[in-house]
Amino acid sequence: MAIIKWDPFGDIATLQDRINKLFEDSFPQQLADGETLPSCAWTPHTDIYENDRGFFVAVDLPGVKKEDVTVEVKNNVMTISGKRSADPACQTTNYYRRERICGKFYRTFSLHAMIAPEDIKATFKNGVLIIEMPRPAADPPRQISVDIE
């Protein structure tokens, strides 16, 4: 029998995740210009990281076709949206368990004002969308002469 260390805050974190999901599903999000995001059936898991080349967003989209994914940037907000279609062969199947979700999805992320939308690149391979945003060029330090009176 394995001994598992008890985490007294594990149940609280799980409860917090459930409450957050309830609020996200109940109240539509609004963009900066007042536009409401569409309701969705599921939210893909996402990693955001950086390295020396820039910032990256990796989105797990198993079973989603490349042509069913859209990436848009508007007012420094990047929206990733699309849909995962149900397998037509499964429409008449009697399920004993069904955990895979089909339907529309979206994620939104605020971008730094210095990120140039025209420099953003996206690749889709093996069910993972990778969005690469080059690091903004740093302004070189300037020397300013100040006259002393």
Inside any domain, residue 139 = no
How confident is the model at residue 2, as a pLDDT?
A: 66
- With CA atoms as reference, report the closest residue to 106 among 29, 27, 50: 29
How confident is the model at residue 144, as a pLDDT?
A: 83
In the predicted structure, residue 81 carries a pLDDT above the cut 90: yes
How confident is the model at residue 54, as a pLDDT?
A: 92
Residue range(s) defining the domain that contains residue 107: 39-90+98-134
Per residue in 24-66, pLDDT tens?
665 555 554 555 555 567 889 999 999 988 999 999 999 999 9
Inside any domain, residue 141 = no
40 phi, psi to nearest 5 deg = -135, 160
Inside any domain, residue 19 = no
Inside any domain, residue 105 = yes
Task: Give the pair of three-digit tokens for residue 116.
Answer: 């140039």
**CATH for 78:** 2.60.40.790
Per residue in 90-144, pLDDT tens?
666 677 777 788 889 989 999 988 888 999 999 999 999 999 999 877 777 788 8
In the predicted structure, residue 76 carries a pLDDT above the cut 80: yes
Q: How many domains does the chain have?
A: 1
Inside any domain, residue 58 = yes
Q: What share of the chain is helix, strand, coil (3-state, %, to 5)?
A: 15, 35, 50
Inside any domain, residue 109 = yes
Inside any domain, residue 24 = no
